[in-house]
């Protein structure tokens, strides 16, 4: 199953993302969304995003429609709407992490991390919440909602006897 199909299936019953100022983030259906909109009052503390529609639009963007290629941190920084250095800080704070290949190495042998299509979609949601002023604690909860935990990249360990 492709990333798009997996995320679409997950959002089938709950296509809205509700993020509260108190740090809670959840997927919701139409009834819960209407209830949240009614309860938020004159000074809302929650943001409601239609991530189901965002998924459909994201899948049609040029350069993103093919799921078989991976994304670099520079691509992710463009999707996030931040500079490369800020995107690197997001990786350092574990707000977004590569799921295909981790960053590694030192010096001239550095290995560039590779992000999946689902990571790129999560980066779009993270960028939207960041523009609305949500903090790192909220942003850190977004990628696990859309990416499979088993698919996360892990750094290879060197054998104990080698230096």
Can you give the length of the chain in residues? 163
What's the predicted TM-score (pTM) here?
Answer: 0.82
Query: Structural domain of residue 106, as residue ranges?
Result: 3-151
Q: Is the pLDDT of residue 159 over 70?
A: no
Q: Which CATH number covers residue 16?
A: 1.10.1660.10
Please indicate, yes or no, if residue 163 is contained in any of the structural domains: no
User: How many structural domains compose the chain?
Assistant: 1
Q: For 28-32, which contacts have Cβ atoms below 8 Å and span 24 or more sequence positions?
A: none
pLDDT tens digits along 85-133: 999 999 999 999 998 888 876 655 567 889 999 999 999 999 999 999 9
Please indicate, yes or no, if residue 157 is contained in any of the structural domains: no
Which pLDDT does position 109 carry in this prediction?
A: 52
Please indicate, yes or no, if residue 160 is contained in any of the structural domains: no
Closest to 118 in 3D by CA, of 86, 159, 79: 79
Please indicate, yes or no, if residue 162 is contained in any of the structural domains: no
Report the share of the chain in percent with pLDDT over 70: 84
In the chain, count of helices (H) and strands (E)?
8, 3
């Amino acid at each position: 199953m492709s990333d798009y199909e997996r995320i679409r299936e997950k959002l089938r019953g709950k296509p809205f993302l509700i993020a509260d100022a108190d740090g809670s983030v959840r997927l919701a259906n139409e009834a819960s969304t209407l209830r949240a909109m009614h309860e938020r009052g004159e000074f809302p503390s929650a943001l409601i995003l239609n991530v189901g529609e965002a998924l459909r639009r994201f899948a049609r963007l040029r350069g993103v429609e093919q799921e078989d290629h991976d994304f670099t941190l520079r691509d992710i920084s463009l999707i996030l709407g931040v500079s490369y250095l800020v995107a690197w800080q997001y990786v350092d704070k574990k707000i977004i992490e590569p799921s295909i290949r981790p960053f590694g190495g030192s010096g001239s042998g550095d290995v560039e991390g590779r992000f999946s299509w689902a990571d790129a979609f999560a980066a779009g949601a993270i960028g939207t919440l960041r523009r609305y002023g949500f903090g790192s604690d909220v942003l850190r909860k977004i990628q696990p909602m859309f990416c499979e935990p088993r698919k996360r990249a892990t750094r290879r360990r060197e054998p104990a006897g080698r230096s």
